[in-house]
Amino acid sequence: MNVSILVGSQWGDEGKGKIVDILSDRYDIVARYQGGANAGHTIQIGDKQYILHLVPSGILRENVQCVIGNGVVIDPHALMEEIEFIHSNGMDTKGRLFISQNAHLIMPYHKLLDNIQESGEKKIGTTGRGIGPCYIDKYARKGIRIVDLLNRKSLEEKIRVNLEEKNNILRKVYNHEELDVEKIIKEYTEFDEKIDQYITDVPTFLNNAIHEGKSILFEGAQGALLDVDHGTYPYVTSSNPTSGGACIGTGVPPTKITSIIGIVKAYTTRVGLGPFPTELLDEDGENLRDWGAEYGATTGRPRRCGWYDAFLVNYSRLINGIERVALTKLDVLSKFKEIKVCVGYEHNGKMLKYFPTDLIRLNEAKPIFEILPGWQKDITGVQNYDDLPSETKNYLGFISEKSGFEISIISVGPKRSQTIEI
Ligand code: GDP
Ligand code: IMO
Ligand code: MG
- HEC sequence for the chain: CCEEEEEECCCCCCCHHHHHHHHHHHCCEEEECCECCCCCEEEEECCEEEEECCCCHHHHCCCCEEEECCCEEECHHHHHHHHHHHHHCCCCCCCCEEEECCCEECCHHHHHHHHHHHCCCCCCCCCCCCHHHHHHHHHCCCCCEHHHHHCHHHHHHHHHHHHHHHHHHHHHCCCCCCCCHHHHHHHHHHHHHHHHHHEECHHHHHHHHHHCCCCEEEECCCCHHHCCCCCCCCCCCCCCCCCHHHHHCCCCCHHHCCEEEEEEECCEEECCCCCCCCECCCHHHHHHHHHCCCECCCCCCECEEECEEHHHHHHHHHHHCCCEEEEECHHHHCCCCEEEEEEEEEECCEECCCCCCCHHHHHHCEEEEEEEECCCCCCCCCCCHHHCCHHHHHHHHHHHHHHCCEEEEEECCCECCCEEEC
Q: Annotated catalytic residue: which of 21, 41, 110, 148? A: 41
Query: Positive or negative CA dihedral for 196, 87, 103, 137?
Result: negative
Domain boundary among 194, 216, 245: 194
| pLDDT (0 to 100) of residue 1 | 82
Nearest CA to ligand 2 atom 15: 126
284 shares its domain with 406: yes
Q: 125 C-alpha to center of ligand 2: Å?
A: 9
**Rounded CA separation 173/171 (Å):** 6
16 and 96 inside one domain: yes
Same domain flag for 354 and 396: yes
Do 234 and 382 reside in the same domain of the chain? no
- Kindly state whether residues 58 and 150 are assigned to the same domain: no
- Distance in angstroms (rounded) separating the CA atoms of residues 409 and 328: 8
CATH of the domain at 88: 3.40.440.10
Whether 131 and 206 share a structural domain:
no
Contact (Cβ atoms closer than 8 angstroms) between residue 131 and residue 238: yes
Please tell me the distance from the alpha carbon of residue 307 to that of residue 314, in angstroms, as a whole number. Answer: 15
The reported pLDDT for the residue numbered 255 is: 98
Residue 192 has what pLDDT?
Answer: 86
Same-domain check for residues 245 and 350? no
- Cα–Cα distances (Å) from 193 to 58, 76, 282, in that order, read 25, 12, 52
Look at residues 159, 175, 194 and tell me which one is the last residue of a structural domain: 194
- Give residue ranges with CB within 6 A of ligand 2: 8, 11-13, 38-41, 124-127, 129, 131-132, 221-223, 226, 237-238, 271-272, 297
Q: Which of 215, 230, 261 is the last residue of a domain?
A: 261
Q: Is 41 a catalytic residue?
A: yes
User: What is the best residue among 42, 106, 117, 226 to mutate for testing ligand 2's pocket, by most ligand atoms within 8 Å of CB?
Assistant: 226
Q: What is the CATH number of the domain that holds 152?
A: 1.10.300.10
**86 and 174, same domain (yes or no):** no
Number of Cβ atoms within 10 Å of the Cβ of 353: 8
The domain in which residue 18 lies consists of: 3-102+197-261
Task: Give the distance from CA 46 to its chain's centroid.
Answer: 23
Query: Looking at 13, 21, 137, 227, which residue is catalytic?
Result: 13
Q: Which atom of ligand 1 is least distant from the CA of 43?
A: 16
Q: State whether 55 and 142 are in the same domain.
A: no
Q: Ligand 1, from 6, 219, 329: best to mutate by most atoms within 8 Å of Cβ?
A: 329
Backbone angles phi, psi at 399, to 5 degrees: -70, -35
Same domain membership, residue 163 and residue 126: yes
Q: 59 and 96, same structural domain?
A: yes
What's the total number of domains in the chain? 3
Which positions of the chain have pLDDT values less than 50? none
Q: Check which CATH number belongs to the domain holding 273 and give it.
A: 3.90.170.10
Residue nearest to atom 14 of ligand 1 (CA): 42
Are 142 and 251 in a shared domain?
no
pTM of the model: 0.98
Return residues with CB closer than 5 A to ligand 3 (ion): 13, 40, 297
d(CA 290, CA 308): 17
* Residues near 254 by beta carbon (within 8 Å), at least 6 away in sequence: 244, 247
Whole-angstrom distance, CA of residue 6 vs CA of residue 251: 16
Q: How many CA atoms lie within 13 A of 238 on its CB side?
A: 23
The per-residue pLDDT for 193 is: 86
Active site residue 13: yes
Nearest residue to 271 (alpha-carbon basis) of 245, 239, 306: 306
Ligand 1, atom 2: nearest CA belongs to which residue?
Answer: 13
